[in-house]
Amino acid sequence: TQLLEQSPQFLSIQEGENLTVYCNSSSVFSSLQWYRQEPGEGPVLLVTVVTGGEVKKLKRLTFQFGDARKDSSLHITAAQTGDTGLYLCAGAVSGTYKYIFGTGTRLKVLA
């Protein structure tokens, strides 16, 4: 069974602090996506990374795909209360139509 482990599971920080969320697996993925989910809603895509070593920036969010395409990280600079939510990574399993989701990181940013 392929697994995507996210850490930390929970994170509570003050507004203005920086944070990093990790997504790790022993499996290789053809691409990796990051989603954010608000209560009562479905996940919404933030970014897709495809190439090993790729770095993408979305305003204060920086996403990196590991060189071996087995892991990824999400770094948020100067967190805001609007960043509060559940962050999920999802790997596209090579050679299949399947996606494996990580266990999620629940972030709370306090004013």
Partner 1 sequence: NAGVTQTPKFQVLKTGQSMTLQCAQDMNHEYMSWYRQDPGMGLRLIHYSVGAGITDQGEVPNGYNVSRSTTEDFPLRLLSAAPSQTSVYFCASSRQGRGSNQPQHFGDGTRLSIL
Nearest to 39 by CA among 87, 101, 86, 105: 86
Nearest to 62 by CA among 45, 71, 81, 49: 49
CB of 66 to partner 1, least distance (A): 16
CB of 67 to partner 1, least distance (A): 18
CA distances 49 to 10, 41, 53, 59, 107, Å, are 24, 23, 9, 16, 22
Residue 31 found at the interface with partner 1 (CB under 8 A): yes
Nearest to 73 by CA among 6, 13, 11: 6
Residue 107 found at the interface with partner 1 (CB under 8 A): no
- Determine the interface stretch with partner 1 among 14-22, 56-64, 71-79, 102-110 (rule: CB under 8 A): 102-110
Cβ-based nearer residue to partner 1, 44 or 68:
44
Question: Which chain residues interact with partner 1 by CB under 8 A?
Answer: 1, 4, 6, 9, 29-31, 33, 40-45, 48, 50, 88, 90, 92-104
